[in-house]
Amino acid sequence: MTHPSTRPSSHDQADAAISHAGYAQQFSRSLKSFESFAVAFSFISITTGLFTTYGTVLNSGGPAGIWTWPIVGAGTVAVALLYGALASRIPLSGYSYQWASRLASPVLGWWFGWVSFAFLAIVAVAVDYGLAQVALFPLLGWEYTPMAGALTTLVVLVVQMALIIWSTPITTKINNLAVSAEVIAMIGLTLLIAGFAIFGGHAEWSNLTSTGAVSGDGYFGWLGPFMLSALLGAFTLVGWESAANLAEETINPKQVVPRAMVRAILLSVALGMVFLVVVTAALGNDVAAITASSAPVAQVVENVLGAGVARAFLVVVSLAIFACGLVIMVSCSRLVHAMARDGRLPFSTALSRVPRATGGPTWATVLAAGASIAIVLAFSGNADALSQLLGAGTLMPALLYAGTVALYLATRRRHRPRPDDFRLGKWEPLVVAGAVIWLVIELAIFLIPSDFRTAQVYALGSLVLGAVVFAVVWARGRERLTREPGESTDSL
């Protein structure tokens, strides 16, 4: 038995996992429990999701559509618990790419990585478009146009890229500040709106069961307006797995990362539900007018609290959404770096290079930003760009979550748990059932109705482009797609 004084620390064990996987430690391991939680919470960013998608839900399902939020939340927690088990088993950057590569095959892992890249590239655009349309333009009093939104998004992407390359500690501090400000502001704003709406006569509680401008015919039917409103939660409650993507920069990742993901979701679901109830009641009697607004939440805040409070809150919203986009690009750069160091991308030597332990991987970050910039240029003249980006940014993670849960189910019997693993214990069957049921429903919502055809086209197009890149990688060195660096998975 190892004497307590000589037992390896969690830090040493985490570094050993990287060494066993065949890699050298390239990043500074500086993320503690709060920082890991902040990464997951910032990617979710309920401020981003609610400000960006609330108007879409009013148009597709009406005010009553907010009640899909806790349903999505419950399903997402179940999925996150299974992700936590995999993240604890293989605590490496690249998350599902690494898991699929080491538990199934490098080829399958490559496709997991590619779909993750396609998701992160487009969701960064969706978030930064949202920053322009629902926060910056109302804050500055500018009139929103598709071209102005595209140009603003391009500028934001470049600034985010520069920050990530320059300094990971600075990026982390910005994110920590944004998360703290977001939590305080969301709680404060919810209380203010509730107080002024109730005592000022703005509250209309019947809105909570109203379909608004949407017809009530077949509202609760299969794939009816109510189910389509799941976009609200399905777009917002994603990205929490980014904490796993930064496992190599996290202290004691086998325990910290799984808990960070679940806690971020639970807090987001709780805060988001209360905020949605209050804002929906505060819509008042003129639901149709606010439904037609390009920034309905900002409109409600102004109507109830006045332009001054609305403007002050939009400053916090802008910071939160910017941090959300920043974390998304960080996650994308780490994914690119993880695939490149295995030689599984063109120009892998450059893409895997990390000039400084305290900075981001330079060319991997440039590629992540460049992919998002290309998407912005493709949508630049589209007046409906934001809603279409939201759909694509929701379908892609749904596909990833379904694939990763299937991977967990296919490999769980082969795993011999270690003492420091995150485990589900007797709750595993219930968690698996919840995750599978939710993912079947989610995929049906985003694959069957015609409402999400643009999202489906993006998903299909990304797979076609992926086939081209895969062919190049295979032709240049197929041996890299037939073996893993380092020792076997059992040694992790």
pLDDT at position 86 = 94
pLDDT, tens digit (0-9, with 9 covering 90-100), for 411-437: 988 877 788 889 898 999 999 999 999
Tell me, yes or no, whether 6 lies in a domain. no
Domain that holds residue 103: 47-484
Total number of domains constituting the chain:
1
C-alpha to C-alpha distance for 208 and 221, rounded to whole angstroms:
19
**pLDDT in the model for residue 10:** 56
Q: In the 8-state DSSP scheme, what is residue 2?
A: -
> What is the model's pLDDT at position 139?
87
Q: Which residues make beta-bridge pairs with 31?
A: 250
Residue 235 lies in a domain: yes
Q: Which residues of 260-293 are buried (b: 16+ CB within 10 A; e: fewer)?
A: bbbbbbebbbebbbebbbbbbbbbbeebeebbeb
Whether residue 261 is contained in a domain is answered as yes
480: in domain: yes
pLDDT digits (tens, 9 = 90+) for 437-467: 999 999 999 999 888 888 899 999 999 999 9
Q: pLDDT tens digit string along 103-161?
A: 999 999 999 999 999 999 999 998 998 898 888 888 888 888 888 889 999 999 999 99
* C-alpha to C-alpha distance for 95 and 142, rounded to whole angstroms: 40
Q: Which residues make Cβ contacts (< 8 Å) with residue 227, sequence separation at least 6?
A: 68, 441, 445
Res 125: pLDDT:
92
- Per DSSP, the residues of 119-172 read HHHHHHHHHHHHIIIIIIHHHHTPPP-HHHHHHHHHHHHHHHHHHHHH-HHHHH
pLDDT at res. 413: 84
Tell me the three state secondary structure of residue 250. strand
Instruction: Tell me the pLDDT of the chain (492 aa) as tens digits.
Output: 334 444 455 555 777 778 888 888 777 788 899 999 998 998 898 988 898 889 989 999 999 999 999 999 999 999 999 999 999 999 998 999 999 999 999 999 999 999 999 999 999 998 998 898 888 888 888 888 888 889 999 999 999 999 998 888 888 889 888 888 888 889 998 999 999 888 887 789 999 999 998 988 899 998 999 999 999 999 899 989 999 989 998 999 999 999 999 999 999 999 999 999 999 999 988 898 899 887 898 889 888 888 888 888 888 889 988 998 999 999 999 999 999 999 999 999 999 998 877 778 999 999 999 999 999 998 887 777 877 888 888 899 999 999 999 999 999 888 777 888 898 989 999 999 999 999 999 999 999 988 888 889 999 999 999 999 999 999 988 888 888 776 544 445
List the CATH number of the domain containing 191: 1.20.1740.10
CA-nearest of 263, 294, 321 to 49 is 321
Which residues are CB-neighbours of 69 under 8 A, at least 6 positions away?
232, 233, 269, 272, 273, 276
Query: For residue 5, what pLDDT is reported?
Result: 42
Q: Which residue's entry shows tokens 């399958």?
A: 108
Amino acid, res. 373:
I
At 183 the three-state DSSP class reads helix
Structure tokens at 94: 């690249």
In a domain, 23, yes or no: no
Answer whether 359's CB lies under 8 Å from 167's CB.
Answer: yes
- The DSSP-derived string for 282-302 is TTTT-HHHHHT-SSHHHHHHH
| C-alpha distances out from residue 254 to 247, 259, 267, 391, 408, Å | 8, 9, 21, 33, 16
Q: Is residue 392 part of a domain?
A: yes
What pTM does this model have? 0.88
Within-domain flag for 7:
no
How many alpha carbons lie under 13 Å from residue 316 in its C-beta half-sphere? 21
Supply the pLDDT for residue 477.
Answer: 82
Whole-angstrom Cα distance, residue 135 to residue 316? 9
Q: Residue 23 — φ and ψ, nearest 5°?
A: -120, 165
- pLDDT 10s digits, 12-35: 577 777 888 888 877 778 889 999
Has residue 118 been placed in a domain? yes
